[in-house]
Amino acid sequence: MITLALAGKPNCGKSTFFKATTMAQVEIANYPFTTIDANHGVAYVRTTCPCKTLGIEGCTQCHDGVRFVPVAFVDVAGLVPDAHKGRGLGNQFLDNLREADAILHVVDASGATDAEGNPVEPGSHDPRGDVTFLKFEMTMWVHGILAKHWARLQRQAQQKTFDAYEGVAGVLAGLGITYEEVKEVAAELDLDLRRASEEDLVPLCERLLEMTKPVIFVANKMDMAPDALIDEMKEMGGIPTSAAAELALRMAADGGFITYLPGDTSFAIKPDAKLSAPQRAALEKLQGLVEKYEGTGVQQALNRAVFDLLDQIVVYPVEDEHRFTDKQGRVLPDAFLMKKGSTPKDLAFRVHTEIGEGFLYAVDARTGMRIKESTELKDGDIIKIVSTRK
């Protein structure tokens, strides 16, 4: 399963974002280091279920054509400046990022928290400075790991048989960094690892992190920030969000007061909803926010991380290519996230290792045509795998 991590300084709204996307019970408070141990949960990316476009009846895996595909989600402890030196909960925070495939960096766009995560008057802190510091802290953390081993690696580099790329990859293997990636980045930077100094390793670590731990930044608390600042943060690549609004909407939907699905650009208060005057006023205020920003931005951030940063597509394996069902007759029972460029054989291995090992061919259920194992899968493909194994 794809794993996303939530990162950011304390008190920026990470725990609210996490709760809004997972509906997990986590502590939310207006002080630094509310989150000490990493919270783990399941979030969902949103896509269009093929049952609608194909006119397939009997699909119980979607909500009126809207399909939600699970991803693992981790909310880690807050980050403060010099976390790579052990300040705050720095080492613990950074270590929790090892498992992440991509990172959502939450920034308090309202400027209501200072660099250390302490509450301040809204607008008194410039949030634009918070955008780059996560990248710096992560880079210096990885650099510190590599620097501890650098003297040893340089001694080994004196041997003609020693592969410096393999040495670096071995030290950073816990971060999921491979030999091929180290070699590619060193060539890109024109860096000779046998002669590199510790200082030369900083751009190497920075680029390796960009490849293996891509980051998208989330401009949270957008409703409390000036429009001009939100526009500027969007130009910087940020996604404006209101995690608090998303949480309120999901709780209202769970309570049966509104009709809303995560990622919708509007919602409706149910005519028979028994609401107090303050509750109705609060929902009407949320309607104005959702209309202004075309949603809360939370689902968009998740989707951007998975589909854009990680280049994923959604593929639907089936047993019966004519009825689009599994052996039990369930319509489109599974939806798998796959890397763009994946093949039917890759999908076979995702379904089960033995099915992959016995792979014969695949059938495109939309066309009924047999396809080769080297065919590149497309988003929304419905595929039957034919294998010697069951």
Residue 26 pLDDT? 42
Residue 93 pLDDT? 57
205 pLDDT tier (thresholds 50, 70, 90): very high
222 pLDDT tier (thresholds 50, 70, 90): very high
DSSP bridge partners of 218: 106, 239
CB 266 within 8 A of CB 245: no
The CA-based dihedral angle spanning residues 46, 48, 51, 53, taken in that order and rounded to the nearest 10 degrees: 170
CB 96 within 8 A of CB 38: yes
What does residue 318 show for φ and ψ, rounded to 5 degrees?
-135, 160
Three-state DSSP state, 318: strand
160 pLDDT tier (thresholds 50, 70, 90): confident
Residue 187 pLDDT? 93
Take residue 24 and report the two structure tokens written for it.
């997990």
Position with higher pLDDT, 350 vs 140: 350
Residue 161 in this model has a pLDDT that exceeds 70: yes
Take residue 112 and report the two structure tokens written for it.
């209501």
The CA-based dihedral angle spanning residues 187, 188, 192, 197, taken in that order and rounded to the nearest 10 degrees: -150
Residue 125 pLDDT? 85
Residue 80 pLDDT? 65
91 pLDDT tier (thresholds 50, 70, 90): low
d(CA 165, CA 178): 9
pLDDT tens digits, 130-148: 888 888 888 888 898 898 8
d(CA 338, CA 310): 10
Residue 36 in this model has a pLDDT that exceeds 50: no
Q: What is the C-alpha radius of gyration for the chain, rounded to an integer number of angstroms?
A: 24
Position with higher pLDDT, 33 vs 362: 362
Residue 62 in this model has a pLDDT that exceeds 90: yes
Share of the chain above pLDDT 90, in %: 60
Residue 285 in this model has a pLDDT that exceeds 80: yes
Residue 86 pLDDT? 59
Burial class of residue 158 in the structure, from the number of CB atoms within 10 Å of its CB (0-12 exposed, 13-18 middle, 19+ buried):
exposed
d(CA 180, CA 189): 14
Residue 244 in this model has a pLDDT that exceeds 50: yes
Residue 84 pLDDT? 57
Residue 261 pLDDT? 95
Domains, the chain, with CATH or none: 3-125+214-303 (3.40.50.300), 136-211 (1.10.8.470), 313-387 (3.10.20.30)
Give the chain's mean pLDDT.
Answer: 88
82-109 mean pLDDT? 72
Three-state DSSP state, 161: coil
Take residue 131 and report the two structure tokens written for it.
């955008």
Nearest by Cα to 296 from 28, 23, 17: 17
Please enumerate, as own/partner, the contacts of 88-97 that have beta carbons within 8 Å and a separation of 24 or more: 88/10, 88/33, 89/33, 89/36, 90/137, 90/141, 93/7, 94/137, 94/138, 94/141, 96/5, 96/38, 97/5, 97/7, 97/138, 97/213
Residue 245 in this model has a pLDDT that exceeds 90: yes
The runs of H, that is alpha helices, within the chain are 14-22, 50-54, 90-96, 130-156, 164-171, 179-188, 201-212, 227-235, 243-254, 277-293, 298-303, 344-351, 353-357
d(CA 118, CA 134): 17
